[in-house]
Amino acid sequence: MEMSFPIDIFVIIDLILISMLLVVGIAIVRLNNLFVIVMLYGVYSLLAATWFVSLDAVDVAFTEAAVGAGISTVLMLGAMLLTSRESKPTTPIRRWTSLLIVLVTGIALIYATFDMPAFGDPNSPANSYVGLMYLKATITDISVPNVVTAILASYRGFDTFGEVVVVLTAGLGVMLILGIDSRRSRSGEVENKDAIAKEANTKNKPEKINALNHHIVLQVVAKMLIPIIILYALYVHFHGDYGPGGGFQAGVIFASAIILYSLIFGMDQTRRAIPPKLVQFGSALGVLIYGGTGIITILMGGKFLDYNMLDQNDTIHAQHMGILMIEVGVLVTVASVMLSIYYGFAGRYRQLKDQNW
């Protein structure tokens, strides 16, 4: 006997999630403690990811969870090293002005939704025209179960290449503003020679575990979790053709594992394991791998990013090869840029600390 509900259970779940998002958003606006605000931003992103899953947008939910609740939270915590924990109180005029801007923007967005098609409408632009063509042609052209991966990595490979370049540009901007190696100034001269000499004298000495800063249990648990996180990142990357994931999400997860190692074992240990120069090289290497794939297809007589030229006897295999190659480039660039941003914040903090800032 089938059970019938007077109200769709999924509608109730959506309403609960929207209400929780609204409550968290109001709490973020009202608080002044930056640490609590950053944590609530992570909660907000996690709730948004859950809502996307409810809307069957699993790939978007995966990206929101990895970027919003994951790496963005860590990077904002790194940025907090350069500022105070409490935000300055705003004047009543600024507060009411900000509220007015938010209300006007919210009303405009809600008004714009009236012209949107109904959720799941088969005649909507998203489910017709080129979108419908992608759904029909993916099985025969690429044979990839995850249509999102097929669209982003093959059909719209040019757009994804531009997005990877944008990620690289963001990393370069952080490197130019904050620098990635705090020991050198913009002119290339070594800064704070006393601190560097002190570190050089203690580098070869056995390090003592400080229970107040890094508990032994936390270190042991981290050593167990970090390899699993990296293995999961590789799974997300190589399984992106068959389920949610890909190079972007895998790169973020990989960088999160390295940042977790840095938070527990210290920045010096992390720099010795993964030098800043390697991170800088990786940021550009990923773009070169992506663009180099297109150059290879041109040299083989095809067009830029024409994966079919990689194996003209089996175009399905050629498509899989091309997608795998460019996804490797995405992973390398995203992971390296995320690490470079974190290195920039952490290195700047150490430089200011050495200068008794």
Confidence class of residue 127 from pLDDT cuts 50, 70 and 90?
A: confident
Say what the pLDDT of residue 197 is. Answer: 47
Of 58-67, 281-290, 338-347, where does the model show the most confidence?
281-290
- Tell me: pLDDT of 89 over 60: yes
- DSSP alpha helices (H): ranges in the chain? 9-30, 34-54, 58-63, 72-79, 92-113, 130-141, 147-150, 157-178, 193-203, 216-238, 247-265, 267-273, 276-299, 315-354
pLDDT digits (tens, 9 = 90+) for 273-304: 888 889 989 999 999 999 999 999 999 988 99
Residue 91: count of CB within 10 angstroms of its CB: 9
- Tell me what pLDDT residue 349 has: 58
Indicate the pTM of the whole model.
0.78
User: Which domains, and CATH codes, for the chain?
Assistant: 1-116 (1.20.120.1200), 147-357 (no CATH)
The per-residue pLDDT for range 9-21, each reduced to its tens digit, is 878 888 899 999 9
For 162-214, what is each residue's pLDDT tens digit?
999 999 998 888 888 877 654 544 443 444 444 444 444 544 444 444 444 54
* Bridge partner residues of 33 (DSSP): 86
